[in-house]
Every structure is written in C-alpha cells, then in structure tokens.
C-alpha cells in the first residue's frame, strides 16, 4: 500500500493521503509532548508525503491544535488537508453535568501538561460555531478542510439539531469541504448516517484485528450511502503496537503502578485485560509465522474494506512516524488473512484479499 496515494473522501472533493496523521498523542496523551517534538513529528510525516492531519480541541485541551497548527504553518496551506472537531468547548468553568474530563485509571488524567481549562460537551448550533472559531485561533489557520462532530454518543439529538446544522451551513457556503463525525462507538455513527447527510466518519477502534463490530451495521451502511470511513485507533490505543502483547501482565490493581503503564500496553485507553492480551498474543503468533510485523497487519487490515479509504496513525515521535509508514507499506501474503480467519480472530465477513 502507498501511504502517500491521494484518495477522495466519499462524495466530497477533499483528497487526502491514504495514511493520515492523527494527533491525539501530540496533545500530551499519557505524557507531556513539547511543541518541538510535535513539530518534529509533523515535519517527518510531511516530508514523507503525508498530507492529511486530523486534530481536535479535546486532544490535550487545545495543545494538539496549537502544536499541529504551528508546525503546519511552515508549509503551503493548499498542500495539505487539516481537519478538527466540534462538540466540546474548552472553558475555565462550565456546567458540571457537561464536563468531560478524560480520566484513565484511578483518577489519573489522560492528558498531561494541559492548560487550566476543561472540556464541556456542547453540540448546540452556537456552541459548534464558537468551537470552530476557537479552533481556528488555536491552530493559527484560516480554514479547516473538513469538520467532525466529536463523540456525540450521549447527545445525538442535540448533535443533529445543533452542530450538524451549523456544519451544514458552513458546507453549503463552501467554508468547509465536508461534514464528518468521530466516535469510538459505531452505533451512534450508524444513527447519524441514517438521519443526515454526512460525508465521512472517523471510526476509532471498532474495526481492528481485535474488534470488528463496525461490520455489524455501520460499514455496510456507509458503502450503500457512499460515506467514507476514516479508520482510527487501529492499534486499539496501543496493545497492537506492542512488540510482544502476549507477554503483558494482567490488569494492575494498585493505583501506585499507574505511572508504569505506557501507551502500548493499553486497550481502549485503559490497562488491557487478560482475554484481550491473550488474543493479541495469538495474533502476533500468526503474524510471526508469516514473517509479518503485528503492526503491519493491524494498520493494513481496515483498508481492505470498501468503505475505508484512509487509516490514521498516531505517533508521538518522528521514529514512530517512520515505523508506521514502513508497516503500512509492508507486503502481506494473502495466507495471513486466511489464517486469522481460521483462528477466529477475523470475522468470516471481514473483507480480505
């Protein structure tokens, strides 16, 4: 696969590289990330031909947008696609029932090195418009090429009645090239697809080697309606990027050990449980038998579905950018996919070569 090949997102005129840069880690996920490191990551991806950069206000409570915007400002604006999201406002104070502080484990915060703001859900029309203006300011850019409604799981009606109408206005004016929604839950995206005119969805973690529940309804629906799926979370927040997931110990129960957990021993952002660890270890054994890196199978698998033209990587160092590009391009024999199906790892209805 060619990470730099340009593909169109659904029915839009927005063209992106097949491999995009997801910037959640560049907001300080798990550990602080300096602007210099973030810039080095963006530059390495850009120099390699990556032209799709996705961010969000909640990633580091504004840090990712600032870091990515500053790094991309050195490059011609028409040469890349930049997307962000609406649905949370970053405030010093807001309604307690709408606060969405990202907590990992025993109260541990997901993002490190953040400013003194917190995210509050707001899917209203005015909230979405304010979010866009705030993001433009933080990123220091004149436009976003596409906007997503972010995690509307708890507020789908508000998202449809408010945020979608705001983004639809921007789309009709030509201010943005398309409307998407991003979530870790396929169910809410299927609901949105049936009820409004979306161009794409960012589906995180629900179409991977470990979790193919997106096949239940969402992906077939998107093929039917020509809605592009941007596959995120292909390593399920880390475990499928671990060099030997079968060696990971089970869930740690003492909060004092939180600091020892790193990004590549988690599943859905928390320490992986025994059954998941065992399945990931089995996947690696099958990959090893074919001489294929686990990460290569993980990052390429979603691309075989006709609804999925793009995969996002989420590196936090320039070296990880190189590693992701290498495994995205790795030649995988068809027999690997057959063996994963025979082992019950992949569903029989999952498209593979």
Taking every pair of Cα atoms in the chain, the longest distance, rounded to a whole number of angstroms, is 55
Q: Which residues contact 62 (CB under 8 A, 6 or more apart)?
A: 27, 90, 114, 115, 117, 138
Told to judge if 30 belongs to the known catalytic residues of this protein, a careful annotator would answer no
Told to judge if 145 belongs to the known catalytic residues of this protein, a careful annotator would answer no
Instruction: Write down the catalytic residue from 30, 46, 59, 80.
Output: 59
Instruction: Write down the catalytic residue from 30, 46, 80, 85.
Output: 85
How many CB atoms lie under 10 A from the CB of residue 246? 14
Burial class (CB in 10 A: 0-12, 13-18, 19+), 93: exposed
Burial 37-71 (b: 16+ CB within 10 A, else e): bbbbbbbbbbebebbbbbbbbbbbbbbbbbbbbbb
Which of 117, 121, 77 lies closest to 97 in space, CA to CA?
A: 121
167, two tokens: 């983004």
CA dist., res. 218 & res. 13, Å (int): 23
The string of DSSP codes covering 188-200 is: HHHHHHHHS--SE
Instruction: Write down the catalytic residue from 54, 145, 199, 211.
Output: 54
Which of 182, 203, 204 lies closest to 268 in space, CA to CA?
A: 204
Told to judge if 85 belongs to the known catalytic residues of this protein, a careful annotator would answer yes
How big, in percent rounded to 5, are the helix, strand and coil portions of the chain?
45, 15, 40
CA dist., res. 166 & res. 193, Å (int): 17
Q: Are strands 200-204 and 179-183 parallel, antiparallel or unpaired?
A: parallel
User: 338 by DSSP, 3-state: which?
Assistant: helix
Residue 156: half-sphere exposure toward Cβ, Cα within 13 Å: 14
Catalytic residues: 54, 59, 85
């Amino acid at each position: 696969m060619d990470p730099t090949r340009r593909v169109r997102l659904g029915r839009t005129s927005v063209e992106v590289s097949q491999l995009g840069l997801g910037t959640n880690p560049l907001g300080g996920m798990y550990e602080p990330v300096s602007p210099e490191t973030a810039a080095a990551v963006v530059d390495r991806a850009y120099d390699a031909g990556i032209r799709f950069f996705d961010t969000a206000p909640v990633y580091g409570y504004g840090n990712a947008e600032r870091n990515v915007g500053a790094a991309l400002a050195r490059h011609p604006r028409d040469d890349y696609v930049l997307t962000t999201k609406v649905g949370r406002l970053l405030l010093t104070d807001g309604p307690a029932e709408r606060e969405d502080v990202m907590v990992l484990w025993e109260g541990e915060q997901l993002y490190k090195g953040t400013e003194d703001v917190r995210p509050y859900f707001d899917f209203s029309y005015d909230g979405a418009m304010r979010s866009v203006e705030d993001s433009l300011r933080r990123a220091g850019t004149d436009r976003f090429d596409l906007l997503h409604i972010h995690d509307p799981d708890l507020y789908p009606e508000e998202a449809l009645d408010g945020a979608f109408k705001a983004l639809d206005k921007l789309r009709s004016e030509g201010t943005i090239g398309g409307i998407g929604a991003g979530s870790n839950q396929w169910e809410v995206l299927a609901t949105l697809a049936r009820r409004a005119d979306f161009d794409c969805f960012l589906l995180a973690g629900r179409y991977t080697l470990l979790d193919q529940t997106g096949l239940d309804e969402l992906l077939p629906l998107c093929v039917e309606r020509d809605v592009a799926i941007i596959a995120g979370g292909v390593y399920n927040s880390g475990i499928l990027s671990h060099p030997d997931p079968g060696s990971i110990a089970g869930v740690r129960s003492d909060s004092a050990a939180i600091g020892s957990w790193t990004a590549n021993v988690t599943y859905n952002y928390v320490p992986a449980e025994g059954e998941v660890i065992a399945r990931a270890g089995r996947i690696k054994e099958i990959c090893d038998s074919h001489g294929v890196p686990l990460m290569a199978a993980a990052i390429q698998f979603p691309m075989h579905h006709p609804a999925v033209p793009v995969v996002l990587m989420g590196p936090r160092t320039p070296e990880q950018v190189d590693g992701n590009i290498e495994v995205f391009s790795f030649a995988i024999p068809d027999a690997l996919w057959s063996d994963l199906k025979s082992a019950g790892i992949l569903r029989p209805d999952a498209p593979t070569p």
